[in-house]
Amino acid sequence: MSERRNVEVEERHVEKKENGSMVMATFIKYAAYLIIFFGILWFLIEYVFPMF
């Protein structure tokens, strides 16, 4: 006697959502942070530290 098994298979479709404009905006934002950080660092080294 053969038993029939009812097996439900769950299918998952993973879509990689990548918006090019959002990636570029994030890159520009962090590049601006780095420029500001190095600008402040340069200011401290060039003008503040020589005063001591």
User: What is the per-residue pLDDT for 2?
Assistant: 61
The pTM score is 0.58
Q: Count CA atoms within 13 Å of residue 9 on its CB side.
A: 3
pLDDT category at 1 given cuts 50, 70, 90 is: low
Domain-embedded: residue 38: yes
Domain-embedded: residue 3: no
Domain-embedded: residue 1: no
User: What is the per-residue pLDDT for 18?
Assistant: 73
* Burial (CB count within 10 angstroms: exposed 0-12, middle 13-18, buried 19+), residue 18: exposed
Domain-embedded: residue 4: no
Residue 40 tokens read as: 């402040």
Question: Using one digit for the tens of pLDDT, what is the confidence trace for 4-49?
Answer: 777 788 888 887 777 888 999 999 999 999 999 999 999 999 999 8
Question: Using one digit for the tens of pLDDT, what is the confidence trace for 27-38?
Answer: 999 999 999 999
Domain-embedded: residue 7: no
Domain-embedded: residue 47: yes
